[in-house]
Amino acid sequence: MSNYSPPFDISSAMLSLTASISEKLGELNLYHNLDAKPHLRRSNRIRSIHSSLTIEANSLTLKEVRDVIAGHEVLGPRNEIQEVKNAYAAYEEIPNIDPYSIKELKRIHGIMTGGLVEESGVFRSGDEGVFDGEKVIFIAPKPQMVPGHIRDLFSWMKREKELSPLILSSVFHYEFVFIHPFSDGNGRMARLWQTVILTRWREIFQYLPIESQIEKDQAGYYKAIADCHSAGKSNQFIEFMLRQTDNAFTDILGQASAKEGHISEYIGRLLDVMDYDVPYTANQIMAKLDIKAKENFRQNYLRPAIELGLVEMTVPDKPRSRNQRYIKK
Protein backbone atom coordinates (compact mmCIF):
# COMPACT_ATOMS: atom_id res chain seq x y z
CA MET A 1 0.00 0.00 0.00
CA SER A 2 1.27 3.48 -0.90
CA ASN A 3 2.47 5.85 1.83
CA TYR A 4 1.71 8.94 -0.26
CA SER A 5 0.28 11.90 1.68
CA PRO A 6 -1.06 15.01 -0.12
CA PRO A 7 0.90 18.13 0.90
CA PHE A 8 -1.02 20.55 3.15
CA ASP A 9 -0.75 22.17 6.57
CA ILE A 10 -3.45 22.59 9.23
CA SER A 11 -3.86 26.35 9.69
CA SER A 12 -5.58 28.36 12.41
CA ALA A 13 -8.15 29.47 9.81
CA MET A 14 -9.00 25.83 9.10
CA LEU A 15 -9.44 25.07 12.80
CA SER A 16 -11.64 28.13 13.27
CA LEU A 17 -13.81 27.25 10.28
CA THR A 18 -14.20 23.59 11.26
CA ALA A 19 -15.26 24.71 14.74
CA SER A 20 -17.83 27.10 13.25
CA ILE A 21 -19.20 24.39 10.95
CA SER A 22 -19.40 21.87 13.78
CA GLU A 23 -21.29 24.37 15.93
CA LYS A 24 -23.81 25.05 13.15
CA LEU A 25 -24.10 21.34 12.43
CA GLY A 26 -24.96 20.76 16.08
CA GLU A 27 -27.52 23.57 16.05
CA LEU A 28 -29.15 22.18 12.93
CA ASN A 29 -29.37 18.68 14.42
CA LEU A 30 -30.64 19.96 17.76
CA TYR A 31 -33.29 22.44 16.70
CA HIS A 32 -34.20 21.69 13.09
CA ASN A 33 -35.32 18.28 11.87
CA LEU A 34 -34.79 18.23 8.09
CA ASP A 35 -36.44 14.82 7.92
CA ALA A 36 -39.70 16.69 8.47
CA LYS A 37 -38.90 19.07 5.59
CA PRO A 38 -38.74 16.95 2.41
CA HIS A 39 -39.46 20.06 0.33
CA LEU A 40 -36.34 21.75 1.72
CA ARG A 41 -34.20 18.67 1.09
CA ARG A 42 -35.49 18.39 -2.49
CA SER A 43 -35.01 22.09 -3.15
CA ASN A 44 -31.42 22.01 -1.91
CA ARG A 45 -30.65 18.88 -3.96
CA ILE A 46 -31.89 20.63 -7.11
CA ARG A 47 -29.88 23.75 -6.24
CA SER A 48 -26.75 21.61 -5.85
CA ILE A 49 -27.23 20.02 -9.26
CA HIS A 50 -28.03 23.30 -11.01
CA SER A 51 -25.02 25.06 -9.49
CA SER A 52 -22.56 22.23 -10.20
CA LEU A 53 -23.66 22.12 -13.83
CA THR A 54 -23.65 25.92 -14.15
CA ILE A 55 -20.00 25.95 -13.03
CA GLU A 56 -19.34 23.68 -16.02
CA ALA A 57 -21.14 26.08 -18.42
CA ASN A 58 -24.52 24.33 -18.58
CA SER A 59 -26.93 27.10 -19.64
CA LEU A 60 -30.20 25.73 -18.22
CA THR A 61 -31.89 27.91 -15.62
CA LEU A 62 -32.85 26.68 -12.17
CA LYS A 63 -36.47 26.46 -13.31
CA GLU A 64 -35.49 24.41 -16.35
CA VAL A 65 -33.43 22.08 -14.18
CA ARG A 66 -36.46 21.66 -11.89
CA ASP A 67 -38.65 20.91 -14.91
CA VAL A 68 -36.23 18.32 -16.32
CA ILE A 69 -36.07 16.54 -12.96
CA ALA A 70 -39.87 16.67 -12.68
CA GLY A 71 -40.17 15.02 -16.10
CA HIS A 72 -41.53 18.06 -17.90
CA GLU A 73 -40.57 18.91 -21.45
CA VAL A 74 -37.81 21.50 -21.67
CA LEU A 75 -36.61 23.23 -24.81
CA GLY A 76 -32.84 23.37 -24.63
CA PRO A 77 -29.63 21.69 -25.83
CA ARG A 78 -30.09 17.92 -25.64
CA ASN A 79 -26.69 17.35 -24.09
CA GLU A 80 -27.42 19.88 -21.31
CA ILE A 81 -30.78 18.26 -20.57
CA GLN A 82 -29.03 14.88 -20.44
CA GLU A 83 -26.44 16.35 -18.06
CA VAL A 84 -29.26 17.27 -15.67
CA LYS A 85 -30.83 13.81 -15.84
CA ASN A 86 -27.47 12.14 -15.30
CA ALA A 87 -26.50 14.42 -12.41
CA TYR A 88 -29.84 13.83 -10.68
CA ALA A 89 -29.39 10.05 -11.02
CA ALA A 90 -25.84 10.33 -9.65
CA TYR A 91 -26.87 12.49 -6.67
CA GLU A 92 -29.69 10.07 -5.86
CA GLU A 93 -27.00 7.41 -5.39
CA ILE A 94 -25.22 9.34 -2.62
CA PRO A 95 -26.54 7.24 0.32
CA ASN A 96 -25.42 4.04 -1.40
CA ILE A 97 -21.89 5.08 -2.42
CA ASP A 98 -18.73 3.82 -0.72
CA PRO A 99 -16.50 6.93 -0.90
CA TYR A 100 -13.35 4.82 -0.51
CA SER A 101 -13.99 2.57 -3.52
CA ILE A 102 -12.35 3.32 -6.88
CA LYS A 103 -14.80 0.88 -8.49
CA GLU A 104 -17.66 3.01 -7.13
CA LEU A 105 -15.97 6.17 -8.42
CA LYS A 106 -15.97 4.75 -11.94
CA ARG A 107 -19.55 3.50 -11.61
CA ILE A 108 -20.85 6.92 -10.60
CA HIS A 109 -18.84 8.60 -13.35
CA GLY A 110 -20.59 6.25 -15.74
CA ILE A 111 -23.93 7.54 -14.44
CA MET A 112 -22.82 11.17 -14.50
CA THR A 113 -21.54 11.08 -18.08
CA GLY A 114 -23.58 8.27 -19.65
CA GLY A 115 -24.57 9.07 -23.23
CA LEU A 116 -22.41 12.20 -23.20
CA VAL A 117 -18.80 11.05 -23.64
CA GLU A 118 -17.10 8.01 -25.11
CA GLU A 119 -14.86 7.38 -22.10
CA SER A 120 -17.69 7.12 -19.57
CA GLY A 121 -16.90 5.21 -16.38
CA VAL A 122 -13.24 4.71 -17.30
CA PHE A 123 -10.08 6.72 -16.74
CA ARG A 124 -8.99 8.99 -19.58
CA SER A 125 -6.65 7.89 -22.34
CA GLY A 126 -5.57 11.38 -23.45
CA ASP A 127 -4.06 14.55 -22.04
CA GLU A 128 -6.29 16.99 -20.14
CA GLY A 129 -6.02 20.30 -18.27
CA VAL A 130 -7.99 22.56 -15.96
CA PHE A 131 -9.39 25.70 -17.56
CA ASP A 132 -11.16 28.81 -16.33
CA GLY A 133 -12.89 29.78 -19.56
CA GLU A 134 -10.07 30.08 -22.10
CA LYS A 135 -7.40 30.45 -19.42
CA VAL A 136 -5.27 27.38 -18.71
CA ILE A 137 -4.85 26.86 -14.97
CA PHE A 138 -2.66 23.78 -15.27
CA ILE A 139 -2.06 20.67 -17.37
CA ALA A 140 -3.02 17.41 -15.64
CA PRO A 141 -0.67 14.41 -15.21
CA LYS A 142 -0.20 12.08 -18.15
CA PRO A 143 -2.98 9.48 -18.57
CA GLN A 144 -0.69 6.55 -17.78
CA MET A 145 -0.06 8.10 -14.35
CA VAL A 146 -3.75 8.43 -13.45
CA PRO A 147 -4.45 4.92 -12.03
CA GLY A 148 -1.46 5.15 -9.68
CA HIS A 149 -2.31 8.66 -8.51
CA ILE A 150 -5.91 7.66 -7.79
CA ARG A 151 -4.81 4.54 -5.88
CA ASP A 152 -2.45 6.69 -3.81
CA LEU A 153 -5.21 9.20 -3.05
CA PHE A 154 -7.75 6.56 -2.01
CA SER A 155 -5.14 4.72 0.07
CA TRP A 156 -4.36 7.96 1.89
CA MET A 157 -8.06 8.55 2.62
CA LYS A 158 -8.42 5.07 4.09
CA ARG A 159 -5.42 5.66 6.39
CA GLU A 160 -6.59 9.04 7.70
CA LYS A 161 -8.79 8.04 10.62
CA GLU A 162 -8.11 11.08 12.81
CA LEU A 163 -8.33 13.90 10.24
CA SER A 164 -11.58 15.88 10.22
CA PRO A 165 -13.79 14.77 7.29
CA LEU A 166 -14.28 18.48 6.56
CA ILE A 167 -10.57 18.84 5.81
CA LEU A 168 -10.10 15.37 4.31
CA SER A 169 -12.92 15.89 1.78
CA SER A 170 -11.48 19.27 0.76
CA VAL A 171 -8.02 17.76 0.25
CA PHE A 172 -9.61 15.03 -1.85
CA HIS A 173 -11.49 17.61 -3.92
CA TYR A 174 -8.31 19.49 -4.79
CA GLU A 175 -6.19 16.39 -5.43
CA PHE A 176 -8.91 14.89 -7.62
CA VAL A 177 -9.17 18.05 -9.72
CA PHE A 178 -5.37 18.06 -10.05
CA ILE A 179 -5.23 14.41 -11.17
CA HIS A 180 -8.18 14.99 -13.53
CA PRO A 181 -8.73 11.25 -13.96
CA PHE A 182 -11.56 11.39 -16.51
CA SER A 183 -11.86 12.87 -19.99
CA ASP A 184 -14.90 14.89 -18.85
CA GLY A 185 -16.95 15.49 -15.71
CA ASN A 186 -14.02 15.89 -13.31
CA GLY A 187 -15.37 19.04 -11.64
CA ARG A 188 -18.83 17.54 -11.23
CA MET A 189 -17.36 14.34 -9.79
CA ALA A 190 -15.01 16.19 -7.43
CA ARG A 191 -17.88 18.22 -5.97
CA LEU A 192 -20.16 15.20 -5.74
CA TRP A 193 -17.49 13.02 -4.13
CA GLN A 194 -16.75 15.62 -1.48
CA THR A 195 -20.45 15.47 -0.60
CA VAL A 196 -20.29 11.66 -0.56
CA ILE A 197 -17.36 11.71 1.89
CA LEU A 198 -19.12 14.20 4.16
CA THR A 199 -22.43 12.32 3.96
CA ARG A 200 -20.71 9.18 5.24
CA TRP A 201 -19.76 11.29 8.28
CA ARG A 202 -23.08 13.17 8.73
CA GLU A 203 -26.17 12.43 6.64
CA ILE A 204 -27.24 16.08 6.51
CA PHE A 205 -24.46 16.88 4.03
CA GLN A 206 -26.30 15.23 1.15
CA TYR A 207 -28.83 18.07 1.40
CA LEU A 208 -26.33 20.88 1.90
CA PRO A 209 -25.90 22.85 -1.37
CA ILE A 210 -22.20 23.66 -1.07
CA GLU A 211 -22.11 23.78 -4.87
CA SER A 212 -24.36 26.85 -4.78
CA GLN A 213 -21.81 28.66 -2.63
CA ILE A 214 -19.03 27.74 -5.06
CA GLU A 215 -21.11 29.02 -7.97
CA LYS A 216 -21.37 32.41 -6.25
CA ASP A 217 -17.57 32.69 -6.26
CA GLN A 218 -16.38 30.73 -9.27
CA ALA A 219 -13.45 33.11 -9.70
CA GLY A 220 -12.36 32.37 -6.13
CA TYR A 221 -12.77 28.63 -6.74
CA TYR A 222 -10.48 28.60 -9.77
CA LYS A 223 -8.04 31.02 -8.15
CA ALA A 224 -7.72 28.76 -5.12
CA ILE A 225 -6.97 25.80 -7.41
CA ALA A 226 -4.39 27.80 -9.38
CA ASP A 227 -2.74 29.23 -6.26
CA CYS A 228 -2.45 25.77 -4.68
CA HIS A 229 -0.91 24.42 -7.85
CA SER A 230 1.71 27.18 -7.71
CA ALA A 231 2.30 26.71 -3.99
CA GLY A 232 2.56 22.94 -4.20
CA LYS A 233 0.06 22.31 -1.41
CA SER A 234 -3.71 22.63 -0.99
CA ASN A 235 -4.00 25.01 2.00
CA GLN A 236 -5.81 27.82 0.18
CA PHE A 237 -8.28 25.46 -1.44
CA ILE A 238 -9.07 23.76 1.88
CA GLU A 239 -9.79 27.13 3.48
CA PHE A 240 -11.89 28.18 0.49
CA MET A 241 -14.03 25.04 0.70
CA LEU A 242 -14.42 25.31 4.46
CA ARG A 243 -15.69 28.88 4.03
CA GLN A 244 -18.22 27.75 1.42
CA THR A 245 -19.38 24.94 3.70
CA ASP A 246 -19.74 27.36 6.61
CA ASN A 247 -21.74 29.74 4.40
CA ALA A 248 -23.97 26.88 3.24
CA PHE A 249 -24.78 26.00 6.86
CA THR A 250 -25.60 29.63 7.59
CA ASP A 251 -28.05 29.65 4.69
CA ILE A 252 -29.73 26.35 5.54
CA LEU A 253 -30.13 27.36 9.19
CA GLY A 254 -31.87 30.51 7.99
CA GLN A 255 -34.16 28.45 5.76
CA ALA A 256 -35.00 25.96 8.49
CA SER A 257 -35.59 28.64 11.16
CA ALA A 258 -37.85 30.66 8.90
CA LYS A 259 -39.92 27.64 8.01
CA GLU A 260 -40.45 26.92 11.71
CA GLY A 261 -42.28 30.15 12.35
CA HIS A 262 -39.56 32.77 12.80
CA ILE A 263 -41.06 34.86 10.00
CA SER A 264 -43.40 37.80 9.68
CA GLU A 265 -47.13 37.43 9.23
CA TYR A 266 -46.74 38.79 5.69
CA ILE A 267 -44.22 36.15 4.66
CA GLY A 268 -46.33 33.45 6.29
CA ARG A 269 -49.30 34.46 4.15
CA LEU A 270 -47.13 34.51 1.04
CA LEU A 271 -45.83 31.00 1.66
CA ASP A 272 -49.32 29.71 2.40
CA VAL A 273 -50.64 30.65 -1.05
CA MET A 274 -47.65 29.26 -3.00
CA ASP A 275 -47.16 25.60 -3.86
CA TYR A 276 -43.68 24.08 -3.99
CA ASP A 277 -41.89 23.90 -7.35
CA VAL A 278 -44.58 25.97 -9.07
CA PRO A 279 -43.36 29.18 -10.78
CA TYR A 280 -45.63 32.20 -10.22
CA THR A 281 -45.66 35.69 -11.68
CA ALA A 282 -45.88 38.57 -9.21
CA ASN A 283 -49.41 39.30 -10.41
CA GLN A 284 -50.51 35.71 -9.80
CA ILE A 285 -49.25 35.81 -6.23
CA MET A 286 -50.84 39.21 -5.61
CA ALA A 287 -54.17 37.85 -6.86
CA LYS A 288 -53.92 34.90 -4.48
CA LEU A 289 -53.20 37.29 -1.62
CA ASP A 290 -55.92 39.71 -2.78
CA ILE A 291 -53.40 42.56 -2.79
CA LYS A 292 -53.68 45.51 -5.18
CA ALA A 293 -50.68 47.68 -4.21
CA LYS A 294 -47.56 46.32 -5.93
CA GLU A 295 -45.11 48.29 -3.77
CA ASN A 296 -46.70 46.95 -0.58
CA PHE A 297 -46.41 43.44 -2.01
CA ARG A 298 -42.74 43.85 -2.92
CA GLN A 299 -41.67 45.57 0.32
CA ASN A 300 -43.55 43.45 2.87
CA TYR A 301 -44.01 40.10 1.19
CA LEU A 302 -41.80 39.28 -1.78
CA ARG A 303 -38.46 40.96 -1.07
CA PRO A 304 -38.17 39.73 2.56
CA ALA A 305 -39.05 36.18 1.48
CA ILE A 306 -36.33 36.26 -1.19
CA GLU A 307 -33.77 37.67 1.26
CA LEU A 308 -34.55 34.85 3.71
CA GLY A 309 -34.07 32.28 0.97
CA LEU A 310 -37.71 31.14 1.16
CA VAL A 311 -38.58 32.23 -2.38
CA GLU A 312 -36.23 32.33 -5.35
CA MET A 313 -36.32 34.01 -8.73
CA THR A 314 -36.17 31.94 -11.91
CA VAL A 315 -34.14 34.71 -13.57
CA PRO A 316 -32.00 35.95 -10.64
CA ASP A 317 -29.58 37.96 -12.77
CA LYS A 318 -32.45 40.05 -14.21
CA PRO A 319 -34.81 40.83 -11.30
CA ARG A 320 -37.21 42.89 -13.43
CA SER A 321 -37.33 40.55 -16.42
CA ARG A 322 -40.72 40.11 -18.08
CA ASN A 323 -40.09 36.37 -17.83
CA GLN A 324 -39.47 36.51 -14.09
CA ARG A 325 -41.20 33.90 -11.98
CA TYR A 326 -41.02 33.13 -8.27
CA ILE A 327 -40.71 29.67 -6.71
CA LYS A 328 -41.26 28.66 -3.09
CA LYS A 329 -38.23 26.73 -1.82
Q: Quick check: 15 pLDDT over 80?
A: yes
Q: Is 125 part of any domain?
A: yes
pLDDT digits 0-9 by tens, 110-141: 999 999 999 999 999 999 887 777 788 878 99
Q: Do 70 and 40 share a structural domain? A: yes
pLDDT digits 0-9 by tens, 186-230: 999 999 999 999 999 999 999 899 999 999 999 999 999 999 999
Q: Is 56 part of any domain?
A: yes
Q: Do 163 and 213 share a structural domain? A: yes
pLDDT digits 0-9 by tens, 139-166: 899 999 999 999 999 999 999 989 999 9
pLDDT bin (cut points 50, 70, 90) of residue 309 is confident
Q: What is the predicted pLDDT for the residue at 129?
A: 80
According to DSSP, the β-strands at 311-313 and 129-132 are unpaired
Q: What is the mean pLDDT of residues 48-58?
A: 96
Q: What is the predicted pLDDT for the residue at 132?
A: 74
- pTM of this structure: 0.82
Task: Give the CA radius of gyration of the chain.
Answer: 21
Q: Quick check: 262 pLDDT over 90?
A: no
Q: At a CB cut-off of 8 Å and minimum separation 6, what does 206 contact?
A: 45, 91, 94, 95, 195, 199
Q: Is 6 part of any domain?
A: no
Q: Is residue 129 within a helix (H) or strand (E), and if so which, with residue range?
A: strand 129-132
Higher pLDDT, 261 or 5: 5
Range(s) of the domain holding residue 26:
12-259
Q: Do 158 and 304 share a structural domain? A: no
CB-neighbour burial class of residue 277 (10 A; exposed 0-12, middle 13-18, buried 19+): middle
Domain total for the chain?
2
Nearest to 274 by CA among 250, 296, 306: 306
Q: Do 70 and 167 share a structural domain? A: yes
Terminal-residue alpha carbon distance, the chain: 47
Q: What is the mean pLDDT of residues 281-285?
A: 96
Q: What is the predicted pLDDT for the residue at 136?
A: 80
Higher pLDDT, 267 or 169: 169
Is residue 187 within 8 A of residue 194, CB to CB? The reply is: no
Nearest to 87 by CA among 118, 51, 122: 51
- Report the CATH number at residue 278: 1.10.10
Alpha helices in 114-234 (DSSP H): 146-159, 165-179, 186-201, 210-216, 218-231
- Provide the 10 A C-beta neighbour count for residue 307: 11
Q: Which of 163-167, 294-298, 305-309 is predicted with the least confidence, judged by mean pLDDT?
A: 305-309
Q: Quick check: 302 pLDDT over 80?
A: yes
CB-neighbour burial class of residue 158 (10 A; exposed 0-12, middle 13-18, buried 19+): exposed
Q: Quick check: 84 pLDDT over 60?
A: yes
Q: Is 7 part of any domain?
A: no
Q: What is the predicted pLDDT for the residue at 258?
A: 58
Percent of the chain's residues with pLDDT above 90: 73
Q: Do 203 and 293 share a structural domain? A: no
Q: Which of 111-125, 173-187, 262-276 is predicted with the least confidence, judged by mean pLDDT?
A: 262-276
Phi, psi of 208 (to 5 degrees): -100, 110
SS3 call for 4: coil
Q: What is the mean pLDDT of residues 67-86?
A: 95
Q: Do 301 and 200 share a structural domain? A: no
Q: Is 3 part of any domain?
A: no
Q: Quick check: 102 pLDDT over 80?
A: yes
Q: Do 248 and 292 share a structural domain? A: no
Q: Do 141 and 118 share a structural domain? A: yes
Higher pLDDT, 254 or 292: 292
Q: Quick check: 256 pLDDT over 60?
A: yes
Q: What is the predicted pLDDT for the residue at 42?
A: 82
Q: Do 148 and 71 share a structural domain? A: yes
Q: What is the predicted pLDDT for the residue at 271?
A: 86
Q: What is the mean pLDDT of residues 9-35?
A: 87
Q: At a CB cut-off of 8 Å and minimum separation 6, what does 163 contact?
A: none
Q: Do 292 and 210 share a structural domain? A: no
SS3 call for 136: strand
Q: Quick check: 52 pLDDT over 90?
A: yes
Phi, psi of 280 (to 5 degrees): -120, 145
Half-sphere exposure of residue 3: CA atoms within 13 angstroms, side-chain side? 0
Q: Is 135 part of any domain?
A: yes
Q: Quick check: 37 pLDDT over 70?
A: no
pLDDT bin (cut points 50, 70, 90) of residue 257 is low
Q: What is the mean pLDDT of residues 87-115?
A: 98
Q: What is the predicted pLDDT for the residue at 329?
A: 74
From residue 22, how far is each of 18, 25, 166, 279 by CA, in Å?
A: 6, 5, 9, 35
